[in-house]
Amino acid sequence: MVYHSSFIDDEQITKACGCPLLPLESHIKGPTPVSEQDSTDIVDEAIAFFRANVFFSNFDIQSSADKLLIYITFYINIALKRVEGCRTLAEGTKAITNLELEKVPVPGENGFPFPGLFAHPQSQKEAELLRNYLKQIREETNRRLLSVAYRSNGTPNKWWLAFAKRKFMNITIP
């Protein structure tokens, strides 16, 4: 059974291309609304559910937040693949920062991993809003992922990095 997001579709949540712009507990600049302190956000859910959800080749979408959960889970898989060979936290940070600097594709562009998951942007403004949101999500995910992928002494956590070998939804990571 796939773990779904606890965030429900709400008419008050802004969407871009069908992707809900859910609040994040983040200090990174971006279009995301800031959530309350000590509350669980979508990045926390994605990291918590990652090791279970990565085993599934199908994902029954129950809400638009599940679409974002799928995207973040796939991104975590890519990030773990990048830090897989890094033996220290410093090396992992460098590898994941390089991933962060790559261009973030939006639906309809080459490189977007899930055609059909989100609608194509209706305008350039909507495309940029989604791109900036996904960039902020990626940066926040990187920051939190490093704290679980590496122990406090800077050595790799094999119970996390072992999942770099898994393929989420049977998608091969380049």
pTM over 0.75: yes
| Domain boundaries of the chain, sorted by first residue | 15-166
Condensed to tens digits (0 to 9), the pLDDT of residues 88-122 reads 999 999 999 999 889 999 999 988 888 888 999 99
Mean pLDDT of all residues in 30-46: 83
Q: What is the CATH number of domain 15-166?
A: 1.10.1760.10
What is the chain's mean pLDDT, rounded? 88
Which residue in 79, 106, 108 sits closest to 94, CA to CA? Answer: 79
Q: Which of 57-61, 109-113, 139-143 has the lowest mean pLDDT?
A: 57-61
**C-alpha span between 78 and 36 (Å, rounded):** 28
